[in-house]
Amino acid sequence: MSDQPVPAEAAPSRNLVQFVLRLREAGVVVFLVLLGLTFGLLNDRFLSVQNLTIVASSAAILAIAACAQGVVLITRNLDVSVGSMMGLVAYLTADWTANHPGISPAEVVAIAVVLGIGLGAINGLLVAYGKVPALIGTLGTMSLYRGLTYIYAHGQEVSSSRLPHWMLESADIRIAGCPIYVIIAIIIVMAVAWFLYAYPLGRRIYAVGSNGVAAWFFGLRAERVVMFAYVLCGFLCGIAGLLYAARVGTVNVVLASGWEMSSLAAAVIGGVSVSGGSGTVIGAALGAVVLAAIDNGLVLLRVPEFWRMFIQGAAIVAAVAVDALIAEAIRRSTAGRRR
Amino acid sequence: MAAKAKRQWPFWEFTLIVAILGAGAWSSTLSPYYLSVDQLFGSTRAFIIPGLLALGLAVVVSLGEIDISLASIIAVGTVTLSKFSAAGVPLGVSAPIVVAIGALCGAFNGLLVAKWRLPSLAVTLGTMGAYRGLAFIIGSEVGYTDFDDSYLWLGSEYIFHGIVPVSLIVFALMAILVWFLMHRTVYGRRCFSIGLNTDASWFAGVDVTETKIRAYALAGALAGLAAIVWIGQYGSARGDNADGSILFVVTAVVLGGIDINGGRGTISGVVLALFLLGTIRNGMGLANIGGPTQTVVLGSLLVAGVLRPAAAAALARLSNPARLKAAGPQGVESSGQE
Amino acid sequence: MKSKILAALGAALLVVGLAAAPALAQQKTSGFKLMMTPKWTGFPYFELTGEGAKAAATELGDTLVYAGADHAEVSLQVETLQNFVTQKPDGIILAAIDLNAVAPVLKDARKKGIVVGTYDADAAVPARDLFVNQLSYEQAARVMLDAALIDAPEGGEIAFIAASPTSPNHMAHIKIMTDLTQKDAKYKVFKPVDTQFANDDDAKSYDVAVNLMQAHPNLKVIISSSAVSAPSAARAIEATGHVGKVWATGFALPSAIKRYLENGSEKAFAFWDPWELGYVAAYAVHQKLAGKFEPTEGAVLDVPKAGKFTTFKDGEVVYGKPLIFTKETVGKYNF
């Protein structure tokens, strides 16, 4: 064993790490399956295709937000302005759409995306180039964006009757019984996951998050990577905000408030580490599914609201603990091999 | 480095004092009602509860950790107090128990963070929900309001001819206590050293786990105390008490100059930041400026506050790259006096 | 020692001054300073009540300030009220977030001679002079069930969505509605099966509505007293293909549910005129200040533009003008 060449030793240990990283995502899946089985045993309607579709549709938009949060978390940063970005984008876009009845769907999407990118870029500038700690910088923009939404709205809301018919109707489209926005969410999350996995810029996001100093020595411009992560986050929030508006049909100033915490919770349950560098956006999206499944299952079981809060909180702590156990297992196994 | 870091903080506190005076002057032009002794003392009451949380959070943040579950611990405290009040237990007995329960909730966070090395933001995000749920479970559906008068004293009475709120005295005592703990005891030095470099502190023989658990327990205990003040101030115990106030607390701690990555900052800075935020909110409130505008002003202030060192460093880099290190503190000073 | 005496003197002077102010105010009949705070600003319903109150104040020669925090947090509302009291208004009008938590500051205000009027959601009785109730709890419950009868005359299972277990009016409505379905022959066709909470959040309401339909396959009507939840429930029914099987009703602004009534996916919602409610609330506080109205049981508040309103026990002035919106009538309203 000891006379094996070094590269050969490095290879299996990397495979092992990759294996466990995959296992880490598997952790959410296992949790989800256990949750599903428990609810399924207690209530026979839970595991019906129809109900699972419902769970997926309540999770879809949060999954996109969690994916946005996940990208930023992987760079070892944080974005607590996620909900406020969604709210501001949704309100501005909906108001613009309501006031310009002839507007085409493509233009609406373009407005939302551009606004989202702009807001994300402000966060990126603050954190990447302003060197402001992520929590504080985005805490500031969280208040700022939400406050601007209120000031712009001036006590109004954009009600469903003011929105063009196609906007709400397109959210009601179902493909093989599955709401369109669930499919959009799946495509987006997959695309982002693929991007992070296969593209150099995507890999750099992981590199910066797992070891910023090492990444710097390798010649990575961490600022640019972090900036990009925030812009991507803003972009995703723009889409999520628009989908939210189309789904719920009424756009008010409090839209998606509190989603900074839900998106963070979903990402953490999904195995994205708040210390950066590990986890996947697919895991984050599955975390959103876990939260939606708990919500749905507890209503089916007629469990009081209070227990829902308690159980979701406990689930987050449990997920974090499992995550740490896995990390510890990796550390031990790799250390063992080196010896 | 540490000595230099220590030197630059008084400038930040000085900046805060200037800002408070500026905000006070601005407030007095906004509203003719601002400048009155009654008003000034009375308005502090709104900031006692977030203030107590900020003191505890400052200790936790100085270790490089965070606790966003503190507001939920208040709710656990208030509903527990309501149960004691309903059972006719005197405050002398129930108050220490509630503070202890707060400390226990905090210590549980600390245990997860320090012993099991879990990331504090994620853990306290979880316990934030769990403690809130617990408060609803204990308090059940209906709020409780039938408190014995003795329960209300701490949060509602005024002393010195009815001008100074009792809760302000409590806050002042706690602020001095925490200041002493952090700046005049070995424990405080350990907190800052862990915040600066956990591994080095561990090698130097600091019991990192115990120090962290104690910090969390202290923050929890202060939240328990805040629950008693809450009952006095609002006379209402419900599961949703203090929901949503934690972001203001984080703002105060950060604006007070506690480095969010740990290791730096002063308690006096946090107290001054509370006064600054309080002055601004009080002034705008008296001028009947709407909530959204206030939110925008506070958000901008926070961003401006944290951009300050970066701007100063950038300025220093531009003016003379070679003297970067020496210019750091001076850059802060000059920007502070703007 | 000297400073203490001075402080005491100062305090005494202040007390005299404060006591004198309302005494003077009592003799006025106009030009009062009124201050109003909703549960939170930025919600169209509360903005409309604010506009109504402002209109009343302008007509009556008063000034009215409308301000408040941007989210429904009781400690912020108390802070707003404290700031109001400092500004020594003649009257305060508010929609209380937590009836007891606002009581201490309101009692303090009343001690200083300020007339306190609540609307929409009451504060503890000793903490205010009068409460302009949009609809009595029983009336509200009946109106919502009447709307449910328009939706589903044959009856069936009904479920409720409230804001939270701590919102007193929602919980009271649900309790009375449940009682009515057992006692009143007219409503016996309904069978309440579930109550869920959505925190006045639209996405949560949508998901709760979907989950309710899932949990209760025979559900007929979803009823919500929350003006946020009712439209979201209607949207959920439309989007999940339950149109014609499940109906949503409850209180909602006509603008928010116009779409669903016009496209036939819903039949009836109820509400009241928030603008007029704010108008009447400001009017009531003005009349009390001017000494023309005392909110004792049986007293009648005469508001020329809105009608005559009777006072019930504990200073509760019932506005009591419910509106039911249907496809035919919804177009008439511009709020």
How many Å apart are CA B123 and CA B114, to the nearest integer?
A: 11
* Cβ within 8 Å, pair C260-A247: no
Mind listing the pLDDT tens digit for each residue in A70-95? Answer: 999 999 999 999 999 999 999 999 99
In angstroms, what CA-CA distances link C249 with C168, C236, C270?
20, 12, 7
A132 closest CB neighbour out of B116, B129, B310: B310
The two structure tokens encoding residue C179: 């009682």
| Residues in Cβ contact with A295 at an 8 Å cutoff, skipping those fewer than 6 apart | A58, A308, C207, C211
CB C268 within 8 A of CB C325: yes
Paired sense of beta strands C63-66 and C33-37, if any: parallel
* Cβ within 8 Å, pair A61-C47: no
Is residue A99 in a domain?
A: yes
The two structure tokens encoding residue C26: 């009592």
The two structure tokens encoding residue A205: 């996001």
Return the minimum-mean-pLDDT range out of A173-182, A286-295, C6-15, C217-226.
C6-15
How many residue contacts between B and C have a Cβ separation below 8 Å? 105
* Distance of residue C173 Cα from the nearest chain A Cα, in angstroms: 19
How many Å apart are CA C284 and CA C49, to the nearest integer?
A: 14
Q: B49 touching C, CB under 8 A?
A: yes
CB A67 within 8 A of CB A188: yes
Confidence of residue C6 (pLDDT cuts 50, 70, 90): low
Task: Provide, rounded to the nearest whole percent, the portion of chain C with pLDDT above 90.
Answer: 68
Q: Considering only CB atoms, which chain C residues are within 8 Å of B291? A: 40-42, 67-71, 76
Phi, psi of C264 (to 5 degrees): 80, 5
CA angle centred on A236, ends A232 and A242, rounded to 5°: 150
How many residue contacts between A and C have a Cβ separation below 8 Å? 120
Q: Considering only CB atoms, which chain B residues are within 8 Å of C43? A: none
DSSP-derived secondary structure letter, C243: B
Confidence of residue C254 (pLDDT cuts 50, 70, 90): very high
Is residue A9 in a domain?
A: no
Is residue B209 in a domain?
A: yes
Domain with A290, as residue range(s), is 31-338
Q: Does residue C25 carry a pLDDT above 50? A: no
SS3 B289: coil
| Torsion sign (Cα): C101, C105, C107, C110 | negative
The number of distinct structural domains making up chain A is: 1
CB B306 within 8 A of CB B49: no
**Looking at residue B173, what is its pLDDT?**
96
**Looking at residue B74, what is its pLDDT?**
96
* Cβ within 8 Å, pair B291-C73: no
CB B101 within 8 A of CB B76: yes
The two structure tokens encoding residue A114: 């551009």
User: Which CATH number belongs to the domain containing residue A111 in this structure?
Assistant: 1.10.3470
Is residue B27 in a domain?
A: no
How many Å apart are CA C282 and CA C275, to the nearest integer?
A: 11
pLDDT, one tens digit for every residue, chain B (338 residues): 444 444 444 678 888 898 899 999 988 888 888 888 888 888 888 899 999 999 999 999 999 999 999 999 999 999 999 999 888 899 999 999 999 999 999 999 999 999 988 889 889 999 999 999 999 899 876 678 778 888 887 877 788 877 888 899 999 999 999 999 999 999 999 999 999 998 899 998 899 999 999 999 999 999 999 999 999 998 888 888 888 788 889 989 988 888 888 888 999 999 999 999 999 999 999 998 888 888 898 888 888 777 766 677 777 777 665 544 443 333 333 333 22
Q: Which residues of C touch B (CB under 8 A)?
A: 4, 7-8, 10-11, 14, 35, 40-42, 65, 67-71, 73-76, 78-80, 82-83, 86-88, 98, 100-101, 103-104, 124, 164-166, 171
The number of distinct structural domains making up chain B is: 1
Mind listing the pLDDT tens digit for each residue in B9-59? Answer: 467 888 889 889 999 998 888 888 888 888 888 888 889 999 999 999 999
DSSP-derived secondary structure letter, A251: B
Taking each helix axis from N to C end, the angle separating A305-338 and A6-42, rounded to the nearest 10 degrees, works out to 160
CB B271 within 8 A of CB B175: yes
- B183-213: buried (b, 16+ CB within 10 Å) or exposed (e) per residue? eeeeebebbbbbbbebeebeeeebebbebbb
B122 closest CB neighbour out of A307, A308, A316: A316
Q: C166 versus A154: which is more confidently predicted?
A: A154
Q: Provide the 10 A C-beta neighbour count for residue A241.
A: 34
> Which chain B residue lies closest to A323 (C-alpha atoms)?
B118
Chain-wide mean pLDDT for chain C?
A: 89
Q: In a 10 Å sphere around its CB, with 0-12 CB exposed, 13-18 middle and 19+ buried, how is residue C297 labelled?
A: exposed
Any bridge partners for residue A158, and if so which? Answer: A251
B 302-331 residues with CB < 8 A to C? none
Is residue A194 in a domain?
A: yes
* Cβ within 8 Å, pair A150-B292: yes
Q: A178 touching C, CB under 8 A?
A: no
Neighbours of chain B (3+ CB pairs under 8 A): A, C
How many Å apart are CA B219 and CA B67, to the nearest integer?
A: 8
Q: Considering only CB atoms, which chain B residues are within 8 Å of A306? A: 133, 136-137, 239
Is residue B224 in a domain?
A: yes
- A252-264: buried (b, 16+ CB within 10 Å) or exposed (e) per residue? bbbbbbebbbbbb
Domain with B172, as residue range(s), is 51-246+260-267
> Which chain B residue lies closest to C81 (C-alpha atoms)?
B285
Is residue B108 in a domain?
A: yes
How many Å apart are CA B137 and CA B106, to the nearest integer?
A: 19
Chain-wide mean pLDDT for chain A?
A: 87
Q: Considering only CB atoms, which chain A residues are within 8 Å of C214? A: 45, 50-51, 54, 296, 299-300
Paired sense of beta strands C91-94 and C130-133, if any: unpaired
Any bridge partners for residue B144, and if so which? Answer: B237
CA angle centred on B293, ends C103 and C279, rounded to 5°: 55
B116 closest CB neighbour out of A150, A261, A324: A324
How many Å apart are CA A294 and CA A311, to the nearest integer?
A: 8
C67 closest CB neighbour out of B145, B156, B290: B290
Q: What is the mean pLDDT of residues C96-125?
A: 92
Residues in chain C: 335
Q: A150 touching C, CB under 8 A?
A: yes
Chain mean position to CA B157: 22
How far apart, in Å, do the first and last CA atoms of chain B sit? 26
Question: Is the ipTM reported for this complex over the cut 0.85?
Answer: no
Paired sense of beta strands C156-162 and C130-133, if any: unpaired
| Residues in Cβ contact with C246 at an 8 Å cutoff, skipping those fewer than 6 apart | C213, C219, C220, C221, C222, C237
How many Å apart are CA C133 and CA C122, to the nearest integer?
A: 8
> Which chain A residue lies closest to B302 (C-alpha atoms)?
A140
User: Which residue ranges form the domains of chain C, and what is each CATH number?
Assistant: 30-134+274-324 (3.40.50.2300), 137-271 (3.40.50.2300)
Q: Considering only CB atoms, which chain A residues are within 8 Å of B117? A: 324
Mind listing the pLDDT tens digit for each residue in A245-265? Answer: 999 988 999 999 889 989 999
**Looking at residue B303, what is its pLDDT?**
83
* Cβ within 8 Å, pair C41-B291: yes
CB C98 within 8 A of CB C74: yes
- B309-336: buried (b, 16+ CB within 10 Å) or exposed (e) per residue? bebbbeebeeeeeeeeeebbbebbbebb
**Looking at residue B329, what is its pLDDT?**
36
B 137-156 residues with CB < 8 A to C? 141-143, 145, 156
Any bridge partners for residue B51, and if so which? Answer: none
**Range from A224-233, B277-286, C13-22, C202-211 that averages highest in pLDDT:** A224-233
Is residue B148 in a domain?
A: yes
How many Å apart are CA C255 and CA A98, to the nearest integer?
A: 13
CB C76 within 8 A of CB C102: no
* Cβ within 8 Å, pair A130-B112: no
Is residue A129 in a domain?
A: yes
* Distance of residue B153 Cα from the nearest chain A Cα, in angstroms: 30
SS3 A238: helix
Is residue B60 in a domain?
A: yes
**Looking at residue B145, what is its pLDDT?**
78
Is residue B82 in a domain?
A: yes
* Cβ within 8 Å, pair A131-B127: no
DSSP-derived secondary structure letter, B111: I
Q: Number of H helices and number of E strands within chain A?
A: 13, 2
SS3 C93: strand
Is residue B155 in a domain?
A: yes
CA-based diameter of chain B, in Å? 70
CB A221 within 8 A of CB A131: no
* Cβ within 8 Å, pair B49-C75: yes
Q: Which of C86, C88, C92 to probe the B interface (max B CBs under 10 A)?
A: C86
The two structure tokens encoding residue A218: 């390798």
* Cβ within 8 Å, pair A143-B298: yes
CA angle centred on A186, ends A182 and A187, rounded to 5°: 115
CA angle centred on C259, ends C255 and C265, rounded to 5°: 135
| Residue entry with tokens 């316990």 | B127
DSSP-derived secondary structure letter, B237: B
Mind listing the pLDDT tens digit for each residue in C132-144? Answer: 999 999 999 999 9
Closest CA to A189 of A277, A284, A53: A284
